[in-house]
Amino acid sequence: MLRRAGPSLRHFLLERNSSAGHSSYSREAKMSRPVQARRLEGIDKNIWVEFVKLAATYSKVNLGQGFPDFPAPDFLREALTRTLSGGNHMLHQYTRAFGHPPLVKVLAQFFEKLLGRDLDPMTNVMVTVGAYQALFCCFQALVDEGDEVIIIEPFFDCYEPMVKMAGGTPVFVPLRPNPPKDGKLMSSADWQLDPAELASKFSERTKAIVLNSPNNPLGKVFSRGELELIAELCVKHDVLCISDEVYEWLVFDGKQHTRIASLQGMWERTVIIGSAGKTFSATGWKVGWVVGPDRLLQHLRTVHQNSVYHCATIAQEAVAQGFQRELMLYGKPESYFVQLPKELQQKRDWLVQSLDGVGMKPIIPEGTYFLVADISPFKSDVPDDPNSDEPYDSRFAKWMVKNKVKGSGPSCSFYPGWVCAHPSSGWGTWSSPTLGHSRLQPAPEQHPQLHMLPLPRALLPSRSPLSTARPTRTTTPISSGSALQR
């Protein structure tokens, strides 16, 4: 039989307290050992935090993070309203940990179409708290102490700390610019991997490669040939591929997004990551997913069930309804996945034209809502501080955000997002997740203040030939109509 220990324990503690004296007791409670886990060393700083604060102080428009400021499509918002006000009160409760059944089911149907293979919704699909958690699950589940993970530069900033947190070592390989000889503006397609350099990064220590196509921040959409090269190396060295495809529907100029998992020998070793936030312009909902073989996903499920469990049931239900609509309209002009890139392509064209007009050298993105531009022509305008080793890109971003820069020409407002420069080169780039912003219409009279964020790593390993490229003015006609907002 259990005896109640309450009174005697209280008595013991009171005695101990009074004999030790209160002040010495609280001194003992102070910890002298380090509280921070070693895995957090060197990854505690986050540039977004600094620049989001800066934007809040100086800006009206937040262009620093990759989210649109136009509404999510009506059909998605209506789905959420229906879910909230409908009679199914169970939608306010927990759902299946690895994904609300209607959502994993429709995702499986959708990806069966895209990949041309049968998928089991319960084992080949897992829903996550945004693509961010999908990435976290991948690194935690698949990367061990001492493993190397190849990351293609420039890259979405969280890959590096997430690899490190898992005990792995990031190994970087850059996309290198090949400027067109005719003086035309560069395209993100002109940034390519050097096949020999890429091959040199693979070794027996390599566990995985992170592929992000369409790429944040360049907007590069990897060609089938480039993906085949990566696939060949993955198969040869028995390496996994973590394929971040959150911008899969944001591809311009009629280009096709090829899924590396559809290439020979890649399904078994690839985890595809997606995001309803990017897909349906609802980043705050934080619904993401992974699609892949059960032999990989079973380990991701272990991380998932021991960390986050799942994201909001109602958001998953509404996203499921959004996908059901898109499945019905697949490939048709009314499909959101057809309309959205058309809309953003117009904004891209306008932004390219504007930046070119003020002397920056924009790199025309083939996809995503980011745009990178060379800012080296502005070096003389940005005050240099001899006492600071802050890179040019970061100083430029702050200078822009604080000085509310207005261009000299009629439609020359700058709308930068973030900038990047290699410290040892005279070259700088400026990149902007601006295409998702409805206010970024050709409106010369508007000069919203700016918000910028620097890239975490240098874009260029050496002085860029870009600095000698002569910018030419683009002549793409711009339309300001917004079908998506109607």
Ligand X SMILES: Cc1ncc(COP(=O)(O)O)c(C=O)c1O
Q: Using CB under 6 A as the criterion, which residues of the chain lie in contact with ligand X when the complex forms?
A: 66, 130-132, 156, 212, 216, 244, 246, 275, 277, 283, 288
Q: How far is the CB of 18 from ligand X (least distance, A)?
A: 53
Measured distance CA(310)–CA(126) in Å, rounded: 10
- Spatial neighbors of 268 by CB under 8 A, at least 6 apart, are 293, 295
Q: Under a CB-based contact definition with an 8 Å cutoff, are residues 155 and 161 in contact? A: no
Supply the minimum distance, in Å, between the C-beta of residue 217 and ligand X: 8
- By C-beta, is 187 or 283 nearer to ligand X? 283
How many degrees, rounded to 5, is the angle at CA 324 between CA 319 and CA 326?
A: 95
CB of 368 to ligand X, least distance (A): 8
Run of H or E including 350: helix 336-357
Nearest-angstrom CA–CA distance, 56 and 433: 17
Could you give the 3-state DSSP secondary structure of residue 113? helix
How many other C-beta atoms lie within 10 A of the C-beta of residue 85? 7
Residue type, 280: F
The sign of the torsion formed by the CA atoms of 330, 331, 333, 335 equals positive
Omega before 377 within 30 of 0, i.e. cis: no
The nearer residue to ligand X, 281 or 324, going by C-beta atoms, is 281
Q: How far is the CB of 237 from ligand X (least distance, A)?
A: 24
Give the nearest residue (CB) to ligand X. 130
Cα separation, 21 vs 379, in Å, equals 64
The nearest distance, CB 315 to ligand X, in angstroms, is 12
Q: How far is the CB of 161 from ligand X (least distance, A)?
A: 13
Could you give the strand order of the β-sheet that contains 206-212, starting from the edge strand earlier in sequence? Answer: 125-129, 287-291, 270-275, 240-244, 206-212, 148-153, 169-177, 191-193
Q: Which is nearer to ligand X, 192 or 212 (CB)?
A: 212
Backbone φ/ψ region at 99: left (φ over 0), alpha (ψ -120 to 50), beta: left
- With beta carbons less than 8 A apart as the criterion, state whether 363 and 176 touch: no
Smallest gap from residue 239 Cβ to ligand X (A): 20
DSSP-assigned letter for residue 479: -
Closest approach of ligand X to the CB of residue 10, in Å: 48
Q: How many CB atoms lie within 10 A of CB 232?
A: 16
Nearest approach, Cβ of 302 to ligand X (angstroms)? Answer: 20
Beta strands 428-432 and 418-421, pairing class: antiparallel
User: CB-wise, 261 or 469, nearer to ligand X?
Assistant: 261
Cβ atoms 458, 450 nearer than 8 A: no
- Give me the least distance between CB of 124 and ligand X, in Å please: 19
| Between 64 and 168, CB nearer to ligand X | 64
Per-position DSSP letters for 435-461, written without gaps between them:
TT-TT-SS-TT----------SS-S-S
What span, in angstroms and rounded, lies between the C-alpha atoms of 8 and 428?
70
CB of 137 to ligand X, least distance (A): 12
Q: Which is nearer to ligand X, 141 or 358 (CB)?
A: 141
